[in-house]
Structure 1
């Protein structure tokens, strides 16, 4: 089974799901199955953090470059809020971790905002200026 995992991941997943459905637990490739289940959880966390990063980046640009505001920025803000809502609804434990994920996301969003706007990094606060409630609020846009 190990070779199947390394050689044809799709076939390996089909085999593992069949074995699980048939309750043939002793035949499972447990080490790889555990690794993949853990990886799925990490990927959801990364996806949520990434959506927060993109949202924060666009809110920072919205605040710091009002003359450059565009429909594209507005669409990105709406899309990322929708993705955040979906991910948090489907994964309540990740919603509970949101403040930690936002803190991590903000560090990158701040650097990206500085690079995209060509404003000095110090133009952006060291800590995220948006509350979780604001980030999740479909109507909120910074002045």
Structure 2
């Protein structure tokens, strides 16, 4: 985009976010740093890191929820649970590979994400919250290990097909 923008012609951040992003990118490429909306641009860049953290939080919570269901409702194990567990692990690993500074983030969030995962697992299984451990029984290394599945051993032919 090689448009030349005059300061008064720039789209305000609040008016059209997509257009604002395109214009700010063009200004950066053109080296027109004095014309940048520095405050909003800085906020957007900072939010990118927060976005990755929120995604890890969400995926970690879903992963813990499914590990709990896997362990405590072994007779109802479903193919979908297995696929969800594997996908969440894969996506978290990918986020950490892209942003290695987040390597320790899952460890920091394990306890808080476990609390909510426990509530959701109880709701979905019909089991009582007390049927699940109060504190996370898993190590982060195990939670993220593609080969770790808690509870009684299993084979794919035992899974309920959905």
Q: Determine if the TM-score, normalized by the shorter chain, exceeds 0.5.
A: yes
1:54 correspondence with 2:62: yes
1:39 correspondence with 2:58: no
Q: TM-score, with normalisation over the residues of structure 1?
A: 0.94
Conserved in 2, the CA contact under 8 Å of 1:134 and 1:140? yes
Q: TM-score, with normalisation over the residues of structure 2?
A: 0.83
Conserved in 1, the CA contact under 8 Å of 2:53 and 2:105? no
Cα distance, 1:88 vs structure 2: 0.9
The DSSP-based 3-state class of the residue aligned with 1:130 is coil
Q: Provide structure 1 residue ranges, at least 5 long, that are not aligned to the other structure.
A: none
Q: Provide structure 2 residue ranges, at least 5 long, that are not aligned to the other structure.
A: 1-6, 152-162
The DSSP-based 3-state class of the residue aligned with 2:138 is coil
Larger radius of gyration: 2
Match of 1:95?
103
Match of 1:142?
150
Match of 2:89?
81
Match of 2:3?
none
The DSSP-based 3-state class of the residue aligned with 2:103 is helix
